[in-house]
A and B are shown apart, each in its own frame.
Chain A
Amino acid sequence: MLLLILAWRNLFRNKRRTFIAGAAIGLGLASLIFTDGLILGMEQTMVRNLTASFLGQGQIHAAGFRQTTAVEKTIHGLKEVVGRLERDPRVSHFAVRALSQGMLSSAADYRPVEVIGVEPDRERLVSQLDDMIVKGRFFTDRNPRDVVVGADLAKDLAVSIGDRVVLTVAQSQTGTLAQDLFFVSGVYRFNSRDLDSGMALILLPKAQDLLALGQNAHEIVLDFRNPDLAGDSKNAFWREYSQGGDEALGWPELMPQVELAFRYSELSLYVLGFILFGVVAFGIINTLFMSIYERIFEFGVLRAIGTRALRVAGMIVLEAAALAVVSIAIGMVFGFLATALFSRVGIDYRGIEMMGVTIRNLIYPVFRVRQFWFYPAWVIVFTVVTSVYPAAYAARIRPAEAMRKTL
């Protein structure tokens, strides 16, 4: 106890040095906190961009649908699944879709497209397509002959709002060709070549009719109240809905390359942490040694009067710990301020396209609890560990020699 008080007071005997060392380490911690927040914010924004745009946080299909995209592979027990989803408190929104390959032709040209039958009311809540409409509307009239296409596709086909197009698909089971007339009712722009040139959206009942699907559909897109659930592949949700021939998957499984990119950035965070601690180590050792030199006479006296070596060492270690505490305080304050500032203002990565989606928003660093206990804890641990070397030195000071040093 006495040691602790002594250590603490020793620390403040040279306020300036303590403060400088504390600031250095604190700044390191602050940057770690900030970078952590930044990477997390970036991940979240990108996931949000990716999933909210069209993919959804999770999807349900018939097992095997994703590999072959055969029109016959519709979701088993669609009605029951929909009912369960409606009652499921974990799910915030979901939408049902029918999917098929097809051909969209205008007088000018033709293009292969992915035909998507959607439910506009539900679809609005789950994807951003309706926000990306640049011309026309997103099925506000509910006309079964409405078709909504991407801006690139509209350009390729030389069509605009109100123009006629013919959609050709192969029906379920028979493969018989079915054609129908549609009028372009909306054009969206996502700034992604894939999304803007390859999809044609029609009303779900119309798609079911055209494809001879009856009441079936191919895909349910979901969003959760807690977005973290989507990234958690171990969560019970996935198992519960992967029954009866269906399979439910979260975005990490649907787009594994995104997940990997994140792992890679987190790796960079570790490297940063490592670097930081390297610098911290030198700072600590330096500071402690300075402080020891200065007080070498004192140490001599202490040892001369019988203080055991271990206690002297212990005092140094406690001083280091105390310094760590000071540093952490400084670090957390600055880390908090920096992260808070940018989480308001945001960092501009706009216009960059990553994974096929253009970043449209600013990146906001995100706080998380671990920034304020995990990293500080490591600072303390590391500080204490590196203090062992100076502490050992202090413990081995020979009283007689020490008392002879005056400067």
Chain B
Amino acid sequence: MIEEKHGLTPYKWIDNYADYLYNFTISRVNNSDLAKDLVQETFLAGLKSAKNFQGKATERTWLVSILKRKIIDHYRKINSKKGQAEVRMDFYDDGENKGSWLEEHVPQNWDNASEKQIENEELRNQLEVCINKLPEKYAMVFRMKTVQEFETEEICKELGITSSNLWVMIHRARTQLRKCMEDNWFNN
């Protein structure tokens, strides 16, 4: 029996850790079906590698470390989809105007910004719509940094990226989000 040999209790995993792992996953991937799949894969991988459990960490910590690897695998998968990663930038990317604002993307005036700032469900929904329009990897990094407020170092470690990589993604995500909110909320 696995539990006798390694101190693991797989028959209690679902009751004890399923919700914790699901919550952990959804805060990173924000997709309920994907989160369920990753949690399921984690438990199955846990069963498979039970013989490697040395009891140095708690059962939950050990399962979380397996889940983190699953999340990295998912991130690498979406990161390798090059077509999805392409974004319409707000700046000239060559010529003498390189790095300056593209005329059509220059920020517009938000005359009604203060009255539109009211916290309500409609605003949250619009924000979610805009975040969901981002390429998946940008949305994932943006959520981890801005919504879940993880430390930069933690995100880089979890996703295996450099901090400059992270800031480029945050910048692109915020630039696109700003445009989306401008078009659909502030100037709507």
Partners in one complex: no
Query: Which B residues are closer than 8 A to A by beta carbons?
Result: none
